[in-house]
Structure 1
Amino acid sequence: MSSSIEWAGDPVSFRPAGGEHTEEVLGVLDEAAGWLGGRGIRQWPVSFSPAWVAGAIERGETWLVDVGDKPSGTVTLDWADALWADVGGTAGYVHRLAVRRRARGLGGVILDWAEDRARRRGVDALRLDCVAHNRSLRDYYEGRGFVHRGDAPWPGIPGQPKREGPVLWMSRYERPLAGSRT
């Protein structure tokens, strides 16, 4: 996305996260996870393990979002998701979108960026999910034009590479991308 994007008066840039950026990605995720946990929202682990993000970083799916010269957010955008295996069509999938507290409100810019990348890839929709009990996040997604596509069980904590642990119900959301092109 162009460096002419601004948020809160500062330029916003997206850069692919390489292995050397793992600690920056984890720092953003852990800060967001701590904030969620402090609000009683059990969506992510208290602390992310490097192994939980390594594969997406290696595949070039994880991005750091800088505001000015400060890493302020991260997002993973990939093209498949087992949670959506029962739903047809092609899509981009937003995972581990997180912003530092100083960049509260940056999430909308990140979602717009993900939508643009998905549209350029020519997929039918942009999809994401969150724990079903996180009503404020569900309201946020619905307010941004995402349509609830049902809830599905997911074993384990979202974001971890292995599907083991207690079953959580995940709310799935989709925003159709009319006019996407290849």
Structure 2
Amino acid sequence: MIVRPGGPSDVGAVLGLLDEAVRWLVSRGRAGQWGSRPFSTNPKRVGELESWTDDLHVAELGGETVGALAIGPAPEYAPPAVGPEVYVTALVGSRRRPGAGRLLLEHARAEAVRRNADRVRVDCYAGGGGALVAYYVSNGFTPTATFTVEGDWPGQVLEVPLRG
């Protein structure tokens, strides 16, 4: 599996991964994270994805897109960072090809070092029994702050410090 820079030509493949993730979540009764409708049917979500292409990184296996990572500014609900950071604004991996998410998070750490950042931060859905928070913790992240979006969507900010 390799990671390469992504761009506008990857939008269709990444939408496919996001739609796959929604189907998987719904099949497990976890529609609270992203809802039950495919990303590709929501113009607002498609627009968000198109905005990620400035700093998009794609995982490929045998020429197939199996994961995507977007880096960007922290959202307004995240507490301000103390020092320079790399903020993971999106991460998705194919359920059919495990390992892409972990590889992309390692890539985010390498990007942070390359950019002379002090930390990598990410936020995620904290509902559904905390499964996604546990995933990030298993990848070396530490929970830092909680937040709520639109009154009922529970979120968690996590980080990996890169310097002591």
Report the TM-score when normalising by structure 1: 0.77
Q: How do residues 84-95 of structure 1 correspond to structure 2 at under 5 angstroms?
A: 84-95=78-89
Deviation at 1:128, TM superposition (A): 0.8
Deviation at 1:23, TM superposition (A): 0.8
Contact 2:144 2:156 in 1 (8 A): yes
- In 2, distance between residues paired with 1:44 and 1:154? 12
Deviation at 1:31, TM superposition (A): 0.6
Structure 1 unaligned residues grouped into runs of 5+: 1-11, 156-165
Q: How do residues 35-114 of structure 1 correspond to structure 2 at under 5 angstroms?
A: 35-41=24-30, 42-45=32-35, 46-48=37-39, 49-57=45-53, 60-114=54-108
Secondary structure in structure 2 of the residue aligned to 1:84: coil
Contact 1:29 1:96 in 2 (8 A): no
Deviation at 1:52, TM superposition (A): 2.1
Deviation at 1:63, TM superposition (A): 2.1
Secondary structure in structure 2 of the residue aligned to 1:101: coil
Contact 2:17 2:92 in 1 (8 A): yes
Contact 1:152 1:170 in 2 (8 A): yes
User: Counterpart of 1:16 in structure 2: which amino acid?
Assistant: P
Structure number having the greater helix percentage: 2
Residue of structure 1 in register with 2:135 after alignment: 140
Secondary structure in structure 1 of the residue aligned to 2:86: strand
Secondary structure in structure 1 of the residue aligned to 2:103: helix
- In 2, distance between residues paired with 1:172 and 1:80? 10
Report the TM-score when normalising by structure 2: 0.85
- In 2, distance between residues paired with 1:87 and 1:71? 31
Aligned identity (percent) is 30
**Aligned Cα RMSD in Å?**
1.9
- In 2, distance between residues paired with 1:52 and 1:168? 18
Deviation at 1:24, TM superposition (A): 0.9
Structure 2 unaligned residues grouped into runs of 5+: 40-44
Deviation at 1:79, TM superposition (A): 3.9
Q: How do residues 140-179 of structure 1 correspond to structure 2 at under 5 angstroms?
A: 140-155=135-150, 167-178=152-163
Secondary structure in structure 2 of the residue aligned to 1:54: helix
User: What's the CA shift string for 1:36-77, capped at 9, x where partnerless?
Assistant: 1221222124322421211111xx212221012111111111
Deviation at 1:87, TM superposition (A): 4.2
Deviation at 1:110, TM superposition (A): 1.0
**Equivalent of 1:28, from 17, 31, 42?**
17
Secondary structure in structure 2 of the residue aligned to 1:103: coil
Secondary structure in structure 2 of the residue aligned to 1:102: coil
Contact 2:143 2:156 in 1 (8 A): yes
